[in-house]
Structure 1
C-alpha cells in the first residue's frame, strides 16, 4: 500500500525533484515507511510506501530486466506469486519478492492489456515505458484504490489524492457545479468528475496511456462486469471454495492482519474463514450505547465462536463532536456518509494492533442484501413479476428510473433514497445541473441488464460502491496508515453474484438467499438467519448538539461560503428541519460534512503552499 504521484511537463525538460517530493509529502500517511522517485526527460514520478510485502527489498520503483520498464503501484496484487512463477518459467529473473516487480516484468512480457487481464488485486498503477516514452495509469476493476489526474495541453499530473494536484501552480481548486448537485443529491460524487473542475478520476476498470512528448492521452476500458441472462448458479461448494481462496489470498502479508467484524453476515463469514488460517486472529467491532442500533453483541458471539482476539469499542456523543473535523481532514472530497465516523475510530484503534484489515465491502451489492432492493425482486405473484420484467419498474413506483438523480421519485435506479429532490437542489444552486455524458453511459450500462434486480445492483456497483463505500474504507484506513482489503471484490465472485437469478438473491422478503446457503459452510443458523440491522447512527441529538456548540445553524454556516451554493437558502432549509424535529438527518449531516471538508481543505492547501517544501512552486 502506497501513495503514487507524477508529472509530465512540455516546457520543463528536468522536473525539479522538490516538486515531486512536495506532491509525495501530501500523502505521508498513505506511505509512512519511505519514499521512492524516478526522473527522465520532462517526467518525474514519486511514491510513498506503506510496507506490507517484502519489507526489506520491495522499494519502488521496480524495473524490468533491461530497466526500460519502470513500475510504481498503490495497492496489492493478490495473485502475484502465481504470476511470478509463470514469468520465471519463461526466463524472467526476480530480484525481490515484491508484487510490484511482477508488474514490471509482466508489462514487459504481456503488455498493458495482457498484464491487466491477469492480475487480481486492488491497485492504482503507474508504469513508464521508456522505449515508447509512454506512461500507463490503471485502476483496479471495482475502484478500491484512488487515482486522480489533471490534463492540459502543457502538462499532465496524477496522484493518489487530490491535494497533491491542487498544490501545483498550474491547477486551480475551483469547485465543479454539477458535482455539487450530485453531492447534494447522493452525499457523494459519482463518475469521472471530482468536486474540482480540473481534476478527474481514472474510473474503475480503466487505464490511461499518456504520450510524454505530445501529452496526447488515450482512455481505454479493460474491464466491465460481464452480465449474462441469469441461469442456475454454480454448485454452492464451488462458490464457497472461491470465497475461501479469495479470503486466503487477502491474508497474505509480512505484517499483522486483522478483521473488521461488524456482526453482520458478510464480515462474519470472512472472520470465520480467516480464523482457520490464522488462529486467534485480531477482530475489531464498534458498538453503540443505544441498543436499537447496536450489533456488537453479534460480533462478540462470532468472535467467541471462532476464538479470535476480539477488540470492542463504543461510539458516543462526544466522539461525534470530536471526530467530524478529523474525518473531514482525511477526505480528498466530501463524502457525507455517517458511517465515516465510527469507521475512522475503528481504523485508529485497529492500527495499534495490525497493519492490514479485511472487511465485507461489496457483499450486499453482489448478493442482494439491501432492503431497498426488495422493490425490484421477483414476487410470488406471477402477473406482478411479468409486469415488472417488461417495464423494469419497481413494484411501489409507477416511474421509470432512467437517470441517477433526476427521477420523478427521489431515488436512484438502485432504489437508494436521495437526500434532496430536484426543487431543493434548484433552491440551493439556482439550477439542477448534471453530467449528461456520465448519465448516458451509466444508463446505457444498466440497460444491458436482464432483470430489474440485476439492474438495481449494477447501479450500486457503478456508483455507491466505488464512490462512497470504497472511498470511505480507503480514506479512513489510510488516515491511520492501515491497509484495507475487501475479499468479496474478487472478479469471479462478483460475476457469479451479479448473474444469479433474482430468486437466488431475494424471494418473498428473504434477502441474500444464495449467500446464506453458502454461509452455512462456516457459520451456525442462529447467526446466518438473524435480521440485518445495518450501520445506522443515532444522529438527531448529535446534530442538535453540533449546532448548539456554535450558537445556531446560521452562525455555523456563515463561517465560510461555498461557491455556487446559496447559503441563505441552505440555512433556511436547515433551520426548517431543526424546527420540525430533524426529519432529514442524512441531508443535515451531509451539509455539516461539506462545510467541515471545505474549511479544512482550503486550510490544507494554504499550509502546503506556504510550507518550505513548496517555496519553489512560484517557478
Structure 2
C-alpha cells in the first residue's frame, strides 16, 4: 500500500515533489522518484507490506527500459512470479515487481492477469500506461496541468489533494479501466450479470459461499507485517474476523465508539468468542470536533453519510496503527447480499439483483473511498475480502430471494444466505443481529445531533445552499461539511467536483 504520483508529456521535478508531499501520509516508510526522460516521471511513497527491506519503488525491469509505481496488493503474485521467472529475473520479493514484467510482456492484457487491489502507472521511452483494479478499491486520479506557452502535462496521483493545486479539472480513473498513451482508454472488467442457479438448494449455495469466503480471506492474509481486523460487532466484520482467526494464531481486532454503544458491547462478545486480542477506543464529542477538519481533508468528501461513517473508521484506523500495518474490513457484504434497508422496498427479484450489481459497481467513490482514505491517513492498509472478484462472481449466482429472505411471518431478513453460510462461526445473537450502519452502531449519529449545533448556529443554511446551487446539499449538516472541506484546500473546486453522493447514486437508474 502506497501513494503514487507522476506526469507525462513534460517533466517538472518541483511540481512532482509538491504532488508527492500532499500524499506522504500514504507511505511513511520511504520515497522514490524516477525521472526517466524529458517526457515522463514517476514518484512513490511507500508503506512497506511485502518485502519491507527490498521492495522499494519505483521498480524497473532488468535493463531499466521500463519503470513502474504501484499501490495495492497482488494476491496471485506467487503464481505470477513462478510463471514469469522463466523469462525474467526478479530482484525482490515484492508483489508489485510482477506487474512491471507482466506489462513488459503483455502490455494492456497484463491487467487481466492480476488478482488483487491496485492502481499502478508504468512507462517506457515511448508510452505511458496506467490502470485501476476491477472494483476500484485503490484510488487513482488524473488531470491536465497547463504551465503556459501551450504546454500540457498529464498528471496523475492517488488522491485529489495531490492534483487540486495545479489542475483545474480532476477526473477519477474508473474501476476496471486502463489508459495507454498509444491506444487510449480501455475497459477490462465489469461486474458479472446476475445468473441465479435456481436448481441448487439453500444449503448448497451456503456451502459454495462459505468456501469462497474462506479463500478470499486466505488471500488477504498475505503479508510480511502484522495483520488485524476491524471488528464492529456487526455480521460482516465479525465473519471476516472469525475466518481470519482460524488462520492467525494471535489476531488483533479493533473496535471504537462512544461509551455504551451497541457496537462496543457486540465486538467484545465476538472477540471473546473467537479468541482475538481485542482493542477498543471510546471517543468523545470533543475529540470528534477536534478531528473533524482532518477527517474531511483526508476523506475528500462532504457527503453526510460518508462523513458519518468516516468518523468511527478514522478513530479505528488510528487505534489499529499502533499494532498492525494491514487491516481486514467487512465492506461489500451489504451490497452483495442485500444488507441495506432500502433494498426491502424493491419487490421485483430481478430488479433487486440488478440494484445489488449496481451498488457494488458504485462503491469505488463512496464506501471504498472512506476505507482507503481513513486507513491510509494513519499509514495502514485496508483489505476487503468480500470484494474478491471470484466471490462477486459467485454472488451473482445466488438467487435474490436467498439474499433478502421473506420468512413465513412476513419478516424480511437481509443477508440471509450469508448468515446461513457462517452461522457456525459466531454466537446466534451476533449472526441474527439486526443490521446497523457503522455510524449508528458506534453511536456517532446520536453524538453528532447535539455536537454540531453550535457550529450550525453560525451558518445561514438557506443562503449557503443558494450560493452553491449547483450542488445537492441535502441538509444543514452537509452544508457544514462542505464549508469545512472547502476551508481545508487553497483551491477547493477540483476537490468538490469529484465528490460522489451515496443517496444520489443509490436512487440513480
TM-based fold match above 0.5: yes
Match of 1:214 in 2: none
Q: Is the 8 A contact 2:33 2:58 kept in 1?
A: yes
Match of 1:7 in 2: 7
Match of 1:279 in 2: 249
Match of 1:399 in 2: none
- Cα offset, 1:544, TM superposition: 4.3
Unpaired segments of 5 or more residues in structure 1?
173-197, 212-216, 378-387, 390-450, 574-585, 606-619
Match of 2:392 in 1: 494
Match of 2:47 in 1: 50
Q: Give 1 or 2 for the bigger CA radius of gyration.
A: 1
- Cα offset, 1:602, TM superposition: 2.3
Matched, 1:526 2:494: no
Q: Is the 8 A contact 1:225 1:495 kept in 2?
A: yes
Q: Is the 8 A contact 1:454 1:499 kept in 2?
A: no
Q: Which stretch of structure 1 is more off in the superposition, 327-336 or 139-148?
A: 327-336
Match of 1:208 in 2: 179
- Cα offset, 1:499, TM superposition: 3.3
Q: In structure 2, do the counterparts of structure 1 residues 541 and 259 end up closer, same or farther at CA, with 3 Å as the change threshold?
A: closer
Matched, 1:19 2:19: no
Matched, 1:516 2:509: no
- Cα offset, 1:539, TM superposition: 3.7
**Of the candidates 175, 188, 195, which is equivalent to residue 229 of structure 1?**
195
Match of 1:103 in 2: 99
- Cα offset, 1:283, TM superposition: 0.2
Match of 1:504 in 2: 402
Looking at structure 1, the residues matched to 277 and 133 of structure 2 have their Cα atoms a distance apart, in angstroms, of 32
Give 3-state SS (helix, strand or coil) of 2:96's partner: helix
Q: Is the 8 A contact 1:547 1:553 kept in 2?
A: no
Give 3-state SS (helix, strand or coil) of 1:361's partner: coil
Deviations 1:542-589 (A, max 9, x none): 3444342575333x998xx7995159x99xx9xxxxxxxxxxxx7333
Deviations 1:372-416 (A, max 9, x none): 111225xxxxxxxxxx46xxxxxxxxxxxxxxxxxxxxxxxxxxx
Using the size of structure 2 for normalisation, the TM-score is: 0.87
Match of 1:144 in 2: 137
Using the size of structure 1 for normalisation, the TM-score is: 0.72
Looking at structure 2, the residues matched to 345 and 230 of structure 1 have their Cα atoms a distance apart, in angstroms, of 39
Match of 1:262 in 2: 232
- Cα offset, 1:32, TM superposition: 1.2
Q: In structure 2, do the counterparts of structure 1 residues 525 and 64 end up closer, same or farther at CA, with 3 Å as the change threshold?
A: same
Q: Is the 8 A contact 2:3 2:71 kept in 1?
A: yes
| Alignment: residue pair count | 473
Looking at structure 2, the residues matched to 527 and 333 of structure 1 have their Cα atoms a distance apart, in angstroms, of 32
Q: Which stretch of structure 1 is more off in the superposition, 529-538 or 39-48?
A: 529-538
Q: In structure 2, do the counterparts of structure 1 residues 546 and 519 end up closer, same or farther at CA, with 3 Å as the change threshold?
A: same
Match of 1:421 in 2: none
Q: In structure 2, do the counterparts of structure 1 residues 340 and 162 end up closer, same or farther at CA, with 3 Å as the change threshold?
A: same
Q: Is the 8 A contact 1:34 1:50 kept in 2?
A: yes
Looking at structure 1, the residues matched to 456 and 236 of structure 2 have their Cα atoms a distance apart, in angstroms, of 40
Looking at structure 1, the residues matched to 477 and 397 of structure 2 have their Cα atoms a distance apart, in angstroms, of 35
Matched, 1:112 2:97: no
Matched, 1:597 2:496: no
Q: How do 1:308-387 residues align onto structure 2 when only pairs under 5 Å count?
A: 308-336=276-304, 337=306, 338-377=308-347
Give 3-state SS (helix, strand or coil) of 1:166's partner: coil
Give 3-state SS (helix, strand or coil) of 1:353's partner: coil
**Alignment RMSD, CA only?**
2.6
Match of 1:588 in 2: 476
